[in-house]
Amino acid sequence: MTTKQTLDCVLQDLPENCLGEVLDFAQFLQTRGDRESWSQFGRLQLSRAYGNDEPECTEADIKPELDRSSRAMSF
């Protein structure tokens, strides 16, 4: 007996409120798979956009910008 066949047998005996929970969980599993696919796609695109020879940003690179914006906000 396959997993689907076994699940069909189990579902036949469950009350309606439990079937709703099974449906919620099945949709969660489906969404989790979709989310993982998009995450992999995003990582691939990021690795294509930025290579190993990218310059490292230091705090000194961004701190002057932060100092200017904080001074502008204090007026």
Domains in the chain: how many in total?
1
Instruction: Give the pLDDT confidence of 20-63 residue by residue, as tens digits.
Output: 999 999 999 988 888 888 999 998 998 888 877 777 877 777 77
Tokens for 25, please give them.
Answer: 């969980």
Q: How far, in whole angstroms, is CA 73 from its chain's centroid?
A: 35
Is residue 32 domain-resident? yes
Task: Please give the Cα distance from 54 to 47 (Å, whole number).
Answer: 11
Is residue 35 domain-resident? yes
Is residue 47 domain-resident? yes
Is residue 39 domain-resident? yes
- Residue with token string 């906000």: 73
Is residue 9 domain-resident? no
Task: Please give the Cα distance from 36 to 44 (Å, whole number).
Answer: 12
Is residue 19 domain-resident? yes
Domain enclosing residue 45, as ranges: 15-51
Instruction: Give the pLDDT confidence of 7-17 residue by residue, as tens digits.
Output: 999 999 999 99
Task: Please give the Cα distance from 54 to 49 (Å, whole number).
Answer: 10
Task: Please give the Cα distance from 58 to 56 (Å, whole number).
Answer: 6
Is residue 71 domain-resident? no
Is residue 22 domain-resident? yes
